[in-house]
Structure 1
Amino acid sequence: MKKNDSIECSIHDLGTDGQGIGRYEGMTVFIDGALPGETVRAKLIALKKNYGVGKLEEVIAASPMRVKPPCHVFGKCGGCSLQHLSYAGQLQFKHNHVMSCIQRIGGLDIPVGFPLPTRHEYRYRNKAAFPVQQNGRQVDIGFYAAHSHRIVDVDDCKIQPSDFHIVMSQLRVWIVKNNISIYDEKTHTGLLRHVILRENKEGDIMLVLCINGEDIPRKSHLIMLFEFVLPQVKSIMLNINTQKTNAILGQKSVCIHGRDHIFETLAGLTFKLGAQSFLQVNSAQTEVLYHTLFKMLGLTGSETVFDLYCGVGTISLFAAQHAKKVVGIEIVKQAISDAQFNARLNDIENAEFLCGDASALLPGLVKTHGRADAAIVDPPRKGLDEAVIRTLAASGIPKIGYVSCNPSTLARDLKLFYELGYETDLIQPVDLFSQTTHIESVCVLEKH
């Protein structure tokens, strides 16, 4: 077996990034676009010591779970990797993935519920970040191809709101007509780096232009364009990012049209969202996620709850409706300010927010508020720092609700929690990201 060989093999599994996994002459082969149960022909494009990578050439025998992807750039864009798999098949894959991580990484035997399905398989996202790149005389705006910084031009992403397509088409006209320079990450020259769009349930849109500079030319023309063509664009922001970095957002944002925020409602609560605010990208399914969490926590209204990684206070304010007192902790100062505003906006008086590192603040919180009856953690993909887990366990908090966006780090963290005397009897996945391999999971750990 050598590079560029054409091989025929059977696919028996899916990898964590959605690649079909087969075997040929005793070696594992990863093939994008292939599904379990299929026989495929592929060209070997890479050979490593223990595995090969193939490019799908032909599906000889198709899986009954195979469907036709609605997006014309599927397979080129690195965003959605499961559009060719039926939604029932996607849920089964995610169920298997969570179970595999818990058993393989955590070494634990914990029941995993079948993922709670989304109500909308497409058009569910409320936010998108589009990188921008010069391509000869054209400008590409879209998403990175898998494993690269090459942008695939996308005119209408099927998991984004349809209005985003209209905004992007008008923006392209403004860029070309006004000769707006495009950022080049190699030379650190050019102005426009990224475009971010956010939409709430009411259809209000925030447009954020991430720029390598302090201002943009012809902004009056841009504002007028959207006032006439798409008045639901309620906010146009400039985010200043002049650093040589892959980070999308800089620290400073300036409003050039409308207001510097939009509002979103989740299960009766209202939240102010700015250019840099974090909110789950599937608003409808976020309500399912939070209802699942609080059903599993079983709060009675008499508890004190600590919410770590509280962001703009979404989970904290939900918790405040079920608890006596909630203390939210977040290291980002602006997020704490937004959380405090959101508490006042919703007339919630039993939620307090503190800015700082969770592991550093927790011991002091126990002294001032007493031991909490429950804690909630919703960390980023890297999971919890070991210091946070050990501090939580040392505080003796009887219940810990864990919301995870990464089964691998969840499994790693649960292993340490188990060693420190905490256990859970169920992990419940909730699907917020159909057409992708990503999955949220919820569990409640109890002290034993």
Structure 2
Amino acid sequence: MAKPPVKPPKDQKSKRRVPEPPIELDINRLDDEGLGIGYYQTKEVLIAGALPGEKVTFAIEHEGQRRIIGQLRKVLRKSVERGVPSCKRAQDCQGCSLIAMNYPAQLRFKEAKVRRHLSNRTLLAEVPVLPILEAEQRLGYRTNAKLVMAKERGEVKIGLYRRGSHAVVDIADCPLHHPLINRIVAVVKEEIARQDVYLYNPRSKRGLLRYLTIKVAPAANRAMVTFVCSERNFRDLTHLGKWLMKKVPEVVSVQQNINSAEGNVIFGRETLKMLGVPDLIDQVGEIRLRIAPTSFFQVHNEQAARIYAQVRQWAGLKPGEIAVDLYCGIGGIALNLARDAARVIGIEVSEEAVRNARENARMNERNNCAFIAGDAAELIHDLAGELPPGSVAVLNPPRGGCAEEVLTELAGLEPRTIIYVSCNPETLARDLEILHRLGYGTEAVQPVDMFPQTPHVESIARLAPLPRTI
């Protein structure tokens, strides 16, 4: 007769790992992403939510050869710059790394970041940086959202990936989002669970719904919703969209974007209108804009209007002059310049954005605008015959900045003024230095707080030809 298996003594059973005790750390400064920086055992420690001058305790989330990612546990000594966070999920989400900092301190941080990146470049050390344009609306301002969808242990989550991981943090009541976005997210979660819609799993590469994107036109209080799917699906998505529009009547458009590719790129190439209107109509300053599902547009309407106004003022266009707007998007800046110029030429790589820009020109009765779809580096050379010396040029590139060949070709066109709108102080400083070597000095830089509670900052730079040496 077989003997029953012998159970190991209690002290020989596998033991759960005991969490390491929290570690004390002094925070010296913030990095460009707004993370608190301290040093522990010769390694740099990055902690979201920790501020300079504070003593905190933290737990190690990840440890590399030179750097530790820490999770804030407790603030033992508070900074005078610490405010009251307006989000209960701030420590888990970590998407708004400055939300624990009071607003005047946020502005100082952002302005100093712009100054630091400029001063790091020898040719830009003396460039005047104007006081940052603060935002009147500091919560509930974000009018578009790109959110990942997942199901974990049977629970539907809609939110963001936690910093440095693929764990989804649910942010149903994000204080930065326009209230309509939060209402839509809540209903979509409810309906996905009720209708049992299959959510995509990046590990198994199976499932339908991947991302949820929402654009809001705040003046009209209307919204466009796009479901990003791994494959075409009309039955489930139409049913989901109809229930969404029934529960949230402010949703006037439901779209489906198809993205079967692996990785974290949100949009695929194909977008299909499912319900409602094809585009969302928004109002920014004095300009009405038609916005397509995948077109880029600024998240803070009031601050975007201020940027448009500043660019127009610095351009100082006269009735007979011509302007070019490189990386023009859906035409917001170009349409404002067209109020003064004889002609404005916009260049944008996205064909959908160019379609919107052309429709926006018609809608705003700007008949002196021409928009061209293509790569700026390839098309700018062809502008020599259309853009006479003494014109105005605007650059508004993505975070990576401009290719050097674009800057070289642009300087060769001899514009009287170059205005550079940037969302990245580091690449702005790099490109301004290149333009300086090409004969264009930076007269002033105007920081703009487009994203309160986050470390991001927009900047507008004005350049003019340097005096020629004989």
Q: Same fold (TM over 0.5)?
A: yes
Contact 1:91–1:114 under 8 Å retained in 2: no
What amino acid is the match of 1:133?
Answer: A
> Structure 2: which 5+ runs fail to align?
1-18
Cα displacement string for residues 261-303 of structure 1 (whole angstroms, at most 9, x for unaligned residues): 1101112211111111221111111011111222222223332
Task: Note closer, same or farther for the CA distance 1:385–1:4 as it changes in structure 2 (3 Å cut).
Answer: farther
1:61 alignment counterpart: 77
**1:103, distance to aligned residue in structure 2 (A):** 1.7
Task: Note closer, same or farther for the CA distance 1:437–1:126 as it changes in structure 2 (3 Å cut).
Answer: same
**1:40, distance to aligned residue in structure 2 (A):** 2.5
Q: State the superposition RMSD in angstroms.
A: 2.0
What fraction of aligned residue pairs are identical, expressed as a percent? 33
- Listed as ranges, the matches of 1:280-359 within 5 Å are 280-359=298-377
Contact 1:106–1:414 under 8 Å retained in 2: no
Equivalent of 1:89, from 105, 125, 128? 105
Task: Note closer, same or farther for the CA distance 1:76–1:363 as it changes in structure 2 (3 Å cut).
Answer: same
- Listed as ranges, the matches of 1:164-175 within 5 Å are 164-175=181-192
Task: Note closer, same or farther for the CA distance 1:322–1:368 as it changes in structure 2 (3 Å cut).
Answer: closer
Secondary structure at the counterpart of residue 91 of structure 2 = coil
Structure-1 separation of matches of 2:69 and 2:192? 39
Structure-2 separation of matches of 1:44 and 1:228? 46
Cα displacement string for residues 396-446 of structure 1 (whole angstroms, at most 9, x for unaligned residues): 222110000000100111111111111112111000100101000001111
**1:362, distance to aligned residue in structure 2 (A):** 1.9
Equivalent of 1:34, from 50, 57, 60? 50
Task: Note closer, same or farther for the CA distance 1:224–1:421 as it changes in structure 2 (3 Å cut).
Answer: closer
What amino acid is the match of 2:99?
Answer: Q
- Number of residues paired by the alignment? 446
- Listed as ranges, the matches of 1:100-249 within 5 Å are 100-104=116-120, 108-109=124-125, 110-201=127-218, 202-249=220-267
| TM-score, with structure 1 as normaliser | 0.94
Secondary structure at the counterpart of residue 319 of structure 2 = coil
Structure-2 separation of matches of 1:37 and 1:431? 24
Secondary structure at the counterpart of residue 152 of structure 1 = strand
Contact 1:106–1:411 under 8 Å retained in 2: no
> Structure 1: which 5+ runs fail to align?
none
Structure-2 separation of matches of 1:107 and 1:17? 25
Task: Note closer, same or farther for the CA distance 1:364–1:434 as it changes in structure 2 (3 Å cut).
Answer: same
Mean CA deviation greater in 287-296 or 223-232: 223-232
Structure-1 separation of matches of 2:74 and 2:128? 38
Equivalent of 1:415, from 433, 438, 441? 433
Q: Determine if the alignment matches structure 1 residue 374 to structure 2 residue 396.
A: no
Secondary structure at the counterpart of residue 295 of structure 1 = helix
Contact 2:46–2:68 under 8 Å retained in 1: yes
**1:360, distance to aligned residue in structure 2 (A):** 2.1
What amino acid is the match of 1:108?
Answer: L
Contact 1:19–1:33 under 8 Å retained in 2: yes
Structure-2 separation of matches of 1:249 and 1:226? 21
Contact 1:301–1:324 under 8 Å retained in 2: yes
What amino acid is the match of 1:391?
Answer: E
Task: Note closer, same or farther for the CA distance 1:111–1:57 as it changes in structure 2 (3 Å cut).
Answer: same
**1:120, distance to aligned residue in structure 2 (A):** 0.6
- Listed as ranges, the matches of 1:269-288 within 5 Å are 269-288=287-306
Structure-1 separation of matches of 2:272 and 2:299? 23
Secondary structure at the counterpart of residue 76 of structure 1 = helix
Structure-2 separation of matches of 1:383 and 1:365? 20
Bigger radius of gyration: 2
**1:17, distance to aligned residue in structure 2 (A):** 1.4
Mean CA deviation greater in 21-30 or 326-335: 21-30
Task: Note closer, same or farther for the CA distance 1:42–1:230 as it changes in structure 2 (3 Å cut).
Answer: closer
Contact 2:308–2:332 under 8 Å retained in 1: no
Cα displacement string for residues 290-317 of structure 1 (whole angstroms, at most 9, x for unaligned residues): 1122222222333210110111111110
Contact 2:188–2:244 under 8 Å retained in 1: no
1:76 alignment counterpart: 92
| TM-score, with structure 2 as normaliser | 0.90
Mean CA deviation greater in 333-342 or 188-197: 333-342
